[in-house]
Amino acid sequence: MTFTFSSDPASIGPALFQITHGLYIVTAKSGSKVNGQCLDALMQVTSAPQRVALGVGKRTLTHEMIAATGRLVASVLDRRDPASPDVIRRFGFQSGRDVDKFAGFPHETTERGIPYLPNAVAVFELSVLPKFTRDLGTHTLFVASVDRAASREGGEPLTYNEYRKSVRRK
C-alpha cells in the first residue's frame, strides 16, 4: 500500500489515533479543593531518574492546581474494570469548576491528600520539575519526578484506542 501524505488536520487526525497510549485519571489538590481529569497524554521519559511527562490543557481546573502546587497523582485505568467507561465520563466530560467529581465517588488519598482510584492498575505520586515545564500554547507539558508509586497484580492498562473502539460499538 502506498501512503498519501497530507497536511490537512482532518487527514492527520486518524493517523494520530494510531499512536497507542493509556488512559489515566490525573488528580491534584490545592488548598482544600481536589479535582481530577481524564488524560491520555502521559508517558515515561526517563528511567534513571524516574520521570514522566504529561500534557495538560491550560483551561482545566486540574491544570491550575498542578501549576499552583507542583504536585499530582496519576491513576492508570484498568481495561478489565467494567466501571472504566463511567470513570472516563465522570472525569473527562464535566468540569471541576461546575461539579465536585469526587462527591460520592470511591477514592483514597495519598499522604499529601491527593485523591487516587483504588481500582487502578498503578498509581504514581508526582512532583513537577519546573525547569522542564514547557508552554505548548493550548497545553502545558509538565515533566515530573516519580516520588512514589504502587501497582497491583491482575490488572491491565486501558489504552485510548481500546476505549475509542468500545465507545463506537455501543
Q: Where are the domains positioned within the chain?
A: 19-169
C-alpha cell at 24: 489515566
Q: What is the pLDDT of residues 38-63, one digit of tens each?
A: 999 999 999 999 999 999 999 999 99
C-alpha angle 101-106-109 in degrees, rounded to nearest 5: 85
Beta strands, E only, 7-137: 24-30, 33-39, 42-47, 50-57, 71-76, 108-109, 115-116, 122-128, 134-135
Split at pLDDT 50, 70, 90, the class of 161 is: confident
* CATH 3.30.530.20 describes domain 19-169: no
Q: What is the model's pTM?
A: 0.91
